[in-house]
Structure 1
Amino acid sequence: MNERVQRLRATLAEQGLPAILLTAPTSRRYLSGFTGSAGALLISAEAAFLLTDGRYTVRAAAEAPAFTLREVRAAVKPLPKLVAELAAELGLSRLGFEAAAMTVAEYQQFAKALAETVELVATENIVEELRVVKDAGEIELLRRAAAITDAALAAVLPVLAPDMTEREAAWRLEVALHDLGADGPSFPIIVAAGRNSARPHHEPGHDVLGEGQPIIIDMGARLNGYHADLTRTIVLGQPDDTFRAVYAATLAAQQTAIRALRPGLPWAEADAIARRVIEEAGYAHGIAHSLGHGVGLVIHEAPWLRITAPDAPPSPPLQAGMVTSVEPGIYLPEWGGVRIEDLALITDDGCEVLSQAPR
């Protein structure tokens, strides 16, 4: 954790900020190790405070020993007042905050408590940019989460039956994740059968899985805060010619993109590579989303493997240590859809696919 805080301090120095208030839960966890549901961090060049209430002080002391603990008391010393006291103690005249993690009402409360003596400076993605390249510990957790996901799918596939509902299949998959050691699913599991599979984020319902039609299963294990993400498209019984053609095009797009992933490849180009394969197969009208997204403490985070507008800034390049989903899909509303997704770790000279479930 100390190395992460030092990298944040270097970023603060580059931006001319003497300190920052971090209120996003992922920022708290990433920088301090604290897993409680409430609290904030205040980090300066010399100090690192963890601010939380009495429900979590014991946990905070155990999980974040490198941070100085200060207790928030809602009636006597709410968070804005405590931050104002610390700002005075540290002699701060400027204080950064995470713009995306603070509501207007919260901003007004902090501005009032600081009484215009401290300038609040909005920052964007200041911790997210630190998190985009994973360290060895994070990669190991992602490997384990992917392995649990693979095993859970393998455990449930043999018991799927045509008369089973989407909802029942999703529940069996969630139970398998827990049984295999996951803390829970990374997100609500998607099981989408028949025409429902043309909806990328379908919510499982009472439709049965049926025979001879596409069934999209999108799932992932959450382990110690880190997420896996896996999609497979299957058929119970015999697939029709449309399934074979759409599946072949989707798999070709995915595998072509995976072979191209390497440090230096712009995020947008990864999407374009897969998109061209689908377009050349005649399914341009079936593309409904981008190629992929980063996975870590958040199920959807940078890098973003998606096309950009012509007038947008150049797409950033992939870097070794990034972990991204690779999930092209083709969706035909009158028939159904196919999506195939794996997690890929960008390595020094290419990528390593973390998901091992059969396609």
Structure 2
Amino acid sequence: MTNRLQQLRATLAARELPAMLLTAPTSRRYISGFTGSAGALLISAEAAFLLTDGRYLIRAAAEAPHFTLREVRPPARPMTALIADLASELGIKRLGFEAAVMTVAEHRQYTAALGNAIELVPTENIVEELRMVKDEEEIALLRRAAAITDAALAAVLPALTPTMTEREAAWRLEVALHDLGAEGPSFPIIVAAGRNSARPHHTPGDDVLGEGQPIIIDMGARLDGYHADLTRTIVLGQPDDTFRAVYAATLKAQQAAMQALRPGLPWSEADAIARRVIGEAGYAEGIAHSLGHGVGLVIHEAPWLRITAPDAPPSPPLQAGMVTSIEPGIYLPEWGGVRIEDLVLITTNGYEVLSQAPK
């Protein structure tokens, strides 16, 4: 955590920001290690404060030993008043805040508490950019989360039957994740059978899995706050010719995109490669989403492997240490869909696939 704090301070110095207020739960956790549901971090070049209420004081002291702890006591001493006191104590004149997190109402409250002496400066993606490249501890957690996900799918697949509903299959997968040591699923598990599989984010219902039709299973284990993400498309019984063709095109697109992965590759280029393969197979109209996204403390985070507008600036390059999903999909509304997804670690000379479930 001390290294992350140093990186944040270096970023603030580069932006000429003397201090930063972090209120996003993922920012609090990433920078300090604190996992409580309420609190804020106030960080300057010399000071690092963790502010929370009485419910979390013991946890905060244990999880964030490098931070100075201050108790919030509403209504007598709300967060805004405590921040104002500390900012005055530290001589802060400009205070950055996470613009994507703070509400308009909260901004008004802070403005009233800080007065004219302290300028609130909106910022975007400061911590998010630090989180893009994972350290060794994060990569180890993501490996374990991916392994649990693989094992849970392997445990449940033999029990699936044509008369089982999507909802029952999703529940069995979630139970298996818990049984294997996950905190829970990374997101509501998707089981989409038949034409439902043409809906990329289908909600499992009472439709049965059936025979001879595509079944998309999208799932992931959450472990110590870190998420896995895996998609497999299966058939119970014999697949039809459409399934064989669509599956082959999807798998070819995934493999082509993966083979190009390396540090320096623009995010958008990986997506473009998969789209070209799918288009050449005659399924360009069946593309409904981008190739992939970063995975970590949030299930969908940077890097974003997606195409950019023709007049947009070039997309950033991949970097060693990034972990991203690679998940091309083809969706045909009158038939169904196929999606194949793996987690991939960008290495210094290429990539490593973290997901090991058979395809």
Same fold (TM > 0.5) = yes
Give per-residue Cα distances to partners, 1:269-323, cap 9 Å, x unaligned: 0000000000000000100000000000000000000000111111000000000
Give per-residue Cα distances to partners, 1:63-120, cap 9 Å, x unaligned: 0010000001111111010000000000011000000010000000000000111000
Q: How many corresponding residue pairs?
A: 359
Aligned residue number for residue 179 of structure 2: 179
CA distance in 1 between partners of 2:316 and 2:61 (Å): 38
Aligned residue number for residue 219 of structure 1: 219
Give per-residue Cα distances to partners, 1:174-201, cap 9 Å, x unaligned: 0000000000000000000000000000
Aligned residue number for residue 33 of structure 2: 33
Query: How far apart are 1:152 and its partner, in Å?
Result: 0.1
Aligned residue number for residue 285 of structure 2: 285
Unaligned runs of 5+ in 2: none
Consecutive aligned runs of 4 or more in structure 1 exceeding 6 Å deviation: none
CA distance in 2 between partners of 1:223 and 1:312 (Å): 37
Give per-residue Cα distances to partners, 1:2-56, cap 9 Å, x unaligned: 0000000000000000000000000000000000000000000000000000000
Aligned residue number for residue 317 of structure 1: 317
Query: How far apart are 1:253 and its partner, in Å?
Result: 0.1
CA distance in 2 between partners of 1:95 and 1:107 (Å): 12
Q: Map 1:88-167; keep pairs closer than 5 Å.
A: 88-167=88-167
Residue 116 of structure 1: SS of its match in structure 2? helix
Give per-residue Cα distances to partners, 1:148-189, cap 9 Å, x unaligned: 000000000000000000000000000000000000000000
Q: Map 1:321-340; keep pairs closer than 5 Å.
A: 321-340=321-340
Residue 21 of structure 1: SS of its match in structure 2? strand
CA distance in 2 between partners of 1:257 and 1:120 (Å): 43
Q: Percent identity?
A: 84
Q: What's the TM-score once normalised by structure 1's chain length?
A: 1.00
Letter in 2 for 1:67: F
Q: Map 1:223-234; keep pairs closer than 5 Å.
A: 223-234=223-234
CA distance in 1 between partners of 2:152 and 2:40 (Å): 35
CA distance in 1 between partners of 2:46 and 2:341 (Å): 44
Residue 259 of structure 1: SS of its match in structure 2? helix
CA distance in 1 between partners of 2:74 and 2:181 (Å): 37
CA distance in 1 between partners of 2:295 and 2:306 (Å): 15
Residue 43 of structure 1: SS of its match in structure 2? strand
Aligned residue number for residue 343 of structure 1: 343
Query: How far apart are 1:121 and its partner, in Å?
Result: 0.2
Aligned residue number for residue 77 of structure 1: 77
CA distance in 2 between partners of 1:302 and 1:284 (Å): 25
Residue 271 of structure 1: SS of its match in structure 2? helix
Aligned residue number for residue 18 of structure 1: 18
Aligned residue number for residue 7 of structure 1: 7
Give per-residue Cα distances to partners, 1:311-356, cap 9 Å, x unaligned: 1111000000000000000000000000000000000111000000
Aligned residue number for residue 200 of structure 1: 200
Aligned residue number for residue 63 of structure 1: 63
Residue 60 of structure 1: SS of its match in structure 2? helix
CA distance in 2 between partners of 1:21 and 1:311 (Å): 34
Letter in 2 for 1:94: R
Residue 12 of structure 1: SS of its match in structure 2? helix
Letter in 1 for 2:96: G
CA RMSD of aligned residues (A): 0.4
CA distance in 2 between partners of 1:104 and 1:310 (Å): 34
CA distance in 1 between partners of 2:106 and 2:345 (Å): 37
CA distance in 2 between partners of 1:276 and 1:18 (Å): 47
Residue 100 of structure 1: SS of its match in structure 2? coil
Deviates more, 1:74-83 or 1:232-241: 74-83
Aligned residue number for residue 253 of structure 1: 253
